[in-house]
C-alpha cells in the first residue's frame, strides 16, 4: 500500500513529521528529519498551484497519477520541495523545514557558513542546504529518484502544532485554514519564537 495514497493529505502531512528525508547527490548523501510541513488540497484549495483546476507545464507533476511523486518549483531564485499525495487528485505536501543530520560540514558550506537552526528552517533554505537545485526530478516517484523518505527510524513528536499556512494572503478561508504542521519545540521550525524552543528534547518523545 502506498503511504502517500493511504489517508487524507492533512494526515499524511502530520505523519511525515519525524520521518527522514534523504537526497543523494554525487558522492554525498544528505539526511534530515522532517519537522515542518504544509498540506495543499488540490483544485478546491485557492492557495494551491492547481486552484480551480489550473494546469500548466509547471504543475504537471501534481496531475500525474499516484502519490509519492516529487514536485519541485522555484520561487525568487529558490527551490521548494513538495511530495504529491492521493491516487488521482492533485494534492501535495510542502516540506518546510528539516532537522539536519548529515553531512553537517557540507550543509554548512552549502548555506555559506551559516550554522544552527539557520541551516534548514525554511523551505528555500533546506533545499539550499541539501544542494537540491534542479527541476529534473519532477514527477518521479520517491525512492526511484535520488530523493527518498524513510520511516525506518521515525521519531515521535511530543506535540504537533497546527496553524495557518505561511505566505498565503488574500485567499479567504484558505488563508487561515489550519494546514501547517510542525514539531513543537524543535529549533529548526521556521518563524517560531526562540522561547518556545526545547533544546533538550527538540520536541521528540
Partner DNA sequence: GTGATGATTGGCT
Partner DNA sequence: GCCAATCATCACG
Q: How far is the CB of 119 from DNA (least distance, A)?
A: 9
| The three cell numbers locating residue 55 | 494546469
SS3 3: helix
The least distance separating DNA from the CB of residue 201, rounded to whole angstroms, comes to 24
Tell me the closest approach of the beta carbon of residue 138 to DNA, in angstroms. 8
Asked if the bond preceding 103 is cis, omega within 30° of 0, the reply is yes
- Which residue's CB is nearer to DNA, number 167 or number 178? 167
Q: Supply the minimum distance, in Å, between the C-beta of residue 83 and DNA.
A: 10
Looking from the CA of 122 toward its CB, the CA atoms found within 13 Å total 14
Nearer to DNA, 135 or 145 (CB): 135
The three cell numbers locating residue 178: 489550519
* Smallest gap from residue 94 Cβ to DNA (A): 3
Residue 34's nearest CA partner among 196, 165, 188 is 188
Neighbours of 134 (CB within 10 A): 11
Q: Which is nearer to DNA, 124 or 158 (CB)?
A: 124
Nearer to DNA, 103 or 167 (CB): 167
- Rounded to 5, what percent of the chain is helix, strand, coil? 20, 30, 50
Question: Where on the chain is the footprint of DNA (CB under 7 A)?
Answer: 38, 40, 47-49, 54, 56-59, 73-78, 80, 82, 92, 94, 111, 114, 118, 122-125, 128, 135, 165-168, 190
Smaller CB separation from DNA, 74 or 201: 74
Residue 117: C-alpha distances to residues 78, 129, 157, 202 (Å)? 18, 11, 18, 11
* HEC per residue, 98-148: EEEEECHHHHHHHCCCCCHHHHCCCHHHHHHHCCCCCCCCCCCECCCCCEE
* Cβ-based nearer residue to DNA, 46 or 158: 46
CB 205 → DNA: shortest distance, Å? 27
Amino acid at each position: 500500500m502506498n503511504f502517500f495514497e493511504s489517508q487524507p493529505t492533512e494526515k499524511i502531512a502530520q505523519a511525515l513529521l519525524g520521518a527522514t528525508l534523504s537526497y543523494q547527490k554525487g558522492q554525498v548523501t544528505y539526511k534530515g528529519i522532517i519537522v515542518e510541513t504544509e498540506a495543499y488540497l488540490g483544485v478546491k484549495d485557492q492557495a494551491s498551484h492547481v486552484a480551480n483546476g489550473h494546469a500548466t507545464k509547471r504543475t504537471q507533476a501534481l496531475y500525474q497519477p499516484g502519490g509519492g511523486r516529487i514536485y519541485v518549483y522555484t520561487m525568487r531564485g529558490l527551490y521548494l520541495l513538495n511530495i504529491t499525495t492521493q491516487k488521482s487528485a492533485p494534492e501535495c505536501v510542502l516540506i518546510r523545514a528539516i532537522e539536519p543530520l548529515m553531512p553537517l560540514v557540507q550543509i554548512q558550506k552549502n548555506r555559506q557558513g551559516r550554522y544552527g537552526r539557520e541551516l534548514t528552517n525554511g523551505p528555500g533554505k533546506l533545499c539550499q542546504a541539501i544542494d537540491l537545485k534542479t527541476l529534473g526530478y519532477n514527477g518521479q516517484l520517491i525512492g526511484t529518484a535520488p530523493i527518498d523518505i524513510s520511516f525506518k527510524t521515525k521519531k515521535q513528536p511530543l506535540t504537533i502544532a497546527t496553524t495557518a499556512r505561511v505566505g498565503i494572503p488574500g485567499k479567504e478561508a484558505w488563508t487561515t485554514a489550519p494546514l501547517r504542521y510542525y514539531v513543537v519545540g524543535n529549533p529548526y521550525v521556521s518563524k517560531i519564537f526562540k522561547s518556545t524552543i526545547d533544546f533538550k528534547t527538540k520536541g521528540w518523545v
